[in-house]
Structure 1
C-alpha cells in the first residue's frame, strides 16, 4: 500500500514539461514560497523519444506518444506524488495552521506564536494597541479640529471661481487672476443700483448703467 500524500488548500501546481514545482501562499497576507524545482530525468528521454518519433514515425511515434502520456504534468503519477510530498515537507516549516479558523498562515508575519493562533484570530497585543492608538489620535485630532477656525476672513458667500474665465489659469483666491490680472468675480455689481450682473455684462440689467471701466 502506497503512502498517503499530504497536501493543503493553499498551493498551486507550477509543474511543467521539465519537472515539478509547487507554490504555497499564506491565506491571510498572500505572501508565500515556491518549492525548489525538481527536474525529472525522464523528461530528457521523453524529448528524445518525441524527436525520433517525429523523424521516423511508426512504432517510434507510438513510443513518443506513450512517453507524453506518462509524463503529463497535469495528471497524477507516482513521480508527481513524490514531488508534492517533498515540496510539502520543504515548505511546511514556513507555515502554521490556525486551530481557530483552520487557515494556513506564514510564520513570519501572520502567526502569534505566544498564543498559537493566527493574528486574525488572536492579534498581537502590541501591534493591536499601536493601531488603536493611531485611530484614537486621528479621532481626537478631528474632534479638536472642529473647534479651530481655519477660515479667518475668507469670503464664503461669493461664488468660488477655481479658474480665470479670461485665460483659464488656476485661481488661488483673491479678486484678480495672478496670471493675467482679470477679475475673478463671476458677477459684476452695478455702481448705480448695486444689482449683481453676470461677469462680462456691459450694462446693468436693472438700471442700464454701464459696467465698463
Structure 2
C-alpha cells in the first residue's frame, strides 16, 4: 500500500526512477533522489554486446528493447521505487484531517492546531491579512472622497500636440515648450466664423474653403 497517489508526478525515464511530490495548497515540490534501474543497466550492457558481436547476442539485445517498456506504467520495480521515494519524502508532509489533502510542513501546516492552514489559518496571519485589506479599502475610500479634478481645465479641448510647434503636451491652455495657445481658432475668410476646428478644410457655417 503506497500513499501519495494523488499529489506526485512520475519523472522516471529509461535509466531509472524519480518522483516529485507537491503540496496541495502552495504547490511547492519535493523531488526524490534518482534511483537507477539495475536491470536496465544490465539490458544496456546486452545491447552494447549485441551491437558488437551480432547474431544471437544482437537478437537478445533487440528483445531488451521490448522489455524496457514493461516498466513504463505498473511494475514491481516501479512500485518498489515509489515506496522508497514515499519513505524519503513523507517526513516533509502531513495529511490534514479536515480536507484530507497532503500539505507541506514548512509552509502550509498549523502545528498548533494539527490541521492545514487552509482549514485552520494562523490567527496572526489572518489578523495581518484583515488589517491590510481594511487599510487598502480605507485608502480607496479616502481617494474617492478627495476632488482630484479641481485644477483640471475641462472647458478647453485637450490637445495631444501643440498646433504651433508640434510638441506633445499634457493639456492646459498654453504649450509648455513654445508658449503658444493650444486652442488656436480657425477663422473663416468668408464669414469670419471662429467655430471651425483645427485642421478643417471648409467652414462649418458658410461652407467656404478655409
Q: TM-score, normalised by structure 1?
A: 0.79
Whole-Å Cα distance in 2 between the matches of residues 104 and 29 of structure 1?
11
Contact (CA 8 Å) 2:50, 2:60: kept in 1 or not?
yes
Whole-Å Cα distance in 1 between the matches of residues 122 and 166 of structure 2?
54
Report the equivalent of 2:17: 20
The reply on whether 1:198 has 2:197 as its aligned counterpart is yes
Whole-Å Cα distance in 1 between the matches of residues 166 and 92 of structure 2?
59
The reply on whether 1:54 has 2:45 as its aligned counterpart is no
3-state SS of the aligned residue for 1:120? coil
Matched residue count: 207
3-state SS of the aligned residue for 1:146? helix
Deviations 1:76-119 (A, max 9, x none): 33222211101001111111212222211211111122222222
The reply on whether 1:95 has 2:93 as its aligned counterpart is yes
Contact (CA 8 Å) 1:100, 1:121: kept in 2 or not?
yes
Whole-Å Cα distance in 1 between the matches of residues 4 and 80 of structure 2?
12
Contact (CA 8 Å) 1:188, 1:196: kept in 2 or not?
yes
Whole-Å Cα distance in 1 between the matches of residues 163 and 53 of structure 2?
81
Whole-Å Cα distance in 1 between the matches of residues 68 and 201 of structure 2?
87
Report the equivalent of 2:81: 83
Report the equivalent of 2:30: 33
3-state SS of the aligned residue for 2:94? strand
Task: Sort the Cα spacing of 1:195 and 1:40 in 2 relative to 1 into closer, same or farther, 3 A.
Answer: same
Contact (CA 8 Å) 1:10, 1:26: kept in 2 or not?
yes
Whole-Å Cα distance in 2 between the matches of residues 167 and 10 of structure 1?
65
Contact (CA 8 Å) 2:159, 2:170: kept in 1 or not?
no
Task: Sort the Cα spacing of 1:17 and 1:162 in 2 relative to 1 into closer, same or farther, 3 A.
Answer: same
- Aligned-residue Cα RMSD (Å) equals 3.3
Contact (CA 8 Å) 1:27, 1:104: kept in 2 or not?
yes
Q: TM-score, normalised by structure 2?
A: 0.80
Contact (CA 8 Å) 2:158, 2:172: kept in 1 or not?
no
Report the equivalent of 2:134: 136
Task: Sort the Cα spacing of 1:85 and 1:12 in 2 relative to 1 into closer, same or farther, 3 A.
Answer: same
Contact (CA 8 Å) 2:162, 2:169: kept in 1 or not?
yes
Report the equivalent of 1:11: 8
